[in-house]
Structure 1
Amino acid sequence: MNYDAMMPRDPFADDPNDPASFLDPEEPAPPLENDERAAIVEDLRLVRECQAKLTPRGMRGILFLCEDCDEWHYYDWEIMAANMQATLDGKLAAVHEPSAEPDVHAYVPWDYALGYLDGMEAR
């Protein structure tokens, strides 16, 4: 799915006075170490497995308590996968806005999702 097409047009696109153009360019992220890359590849596999097995059961994604703002954040499976893939590709994750009023009952902690998968495989 192309999430860029779902984003509103940048109001400063093609503007030579774009305020962001006056900022120093960001340093590129250092390349991933082999063990970091392997861990992300495994997490991406698990996110896709969670999406396939948990979405039909009404679980739309992951929630976590943000340490910076002390609020719950909700991420759909697709956003999680896209963020991980961007990291593997050496890119920054696309900016996204969370749903204004997410169904908080449709999101689960990562450990719960992994435990659910383990339980399904144990049957």
Structure 2
Amino acid sequence: MNYDSQMPLDPFADDPNDPASFLDADEPAPPLSDEERVGITQDLALVARFKKELEPRGILGIFFLCEDCDDFHYYDWDIMAANMSATLAGDLAPVHEPSAHPDVTAYVPWEYASGYLDGLDAR
């Protein structure tokens, strides 16, 4: 079981309709290509910079529009880093939602966070 006591409980635990039920636990994920590994490593470094620069300003993480459910998903910096680190280690990412009711004003799109760093670097 991929469990971290710092993470929220799996909302689909013991649910027979778990959307991840199609995954075969005995079948490992395909290995990352060298290009994918480099990209994730670069993104992991960006997340560390995002946290350093944006968290003191009240920005707690990133949000994405989920194409599957057409709703926004909110990821804290530490959750993003844990997900990326798990992927690099060849593990499944832990549960990723920070809470059932996040403060949506404390999350920004990835592009905003990247642009913010670009602005800092241009000074």
What's the TM-score, normalizing by structure 2?
0.81
The worse-fitting range, judged by mean Cα deviation, of 97-106 and 80-89 is 97-106
Q: How many residues align?
A: 110
% identical aligned pairs: 64
Q: Report if the CA contact (8 A) 2:73-2:97 is conserved.
A: no
How large is the RMSD of aligned CA atoms in angstroms? 2.1
Q: Report if the CA contact (8 A) 2:74-2:107 is conserved.
A: yes
- The one-letter code sitting in structure 2 at the alignment partner of 1:120 is L
Cα deviation for residue 33 of structure 1 reads 0.8
Q: Give SS of 1:63's match.
A: strand
Task: Please tell me whether Structure 1 or Structure 2 has the larger radius of gyration of its CA atoms.
Answer: 1
Answer yes or no: is 1:29 the counterpart of 2:22: no
> Which residue of the partner structure matches residue 45 of structure 1?
45
Cα deviation for residue 5 of structure 1 reads 1.7
Which consecutive residues of structure 2, in runs of 5 or more, have no partner in the other structure?
Answer: 15-22
Distance 1:37 1:58, change over 3 A: same
Answer yes or no: is 1:72 the counterpart of 2:72: yes
- The one-letter code sitting in structure 2 at the alignment partner of 1:92 is L
Higher relative contact order (CA 8 A, sep 6+): 2
What's the TM-score, normalizing by structure 1?
0.81
Which consecutive residues of structure 1, in runs of 5 or more, have no partner in the other structure?
Answer: 13-22
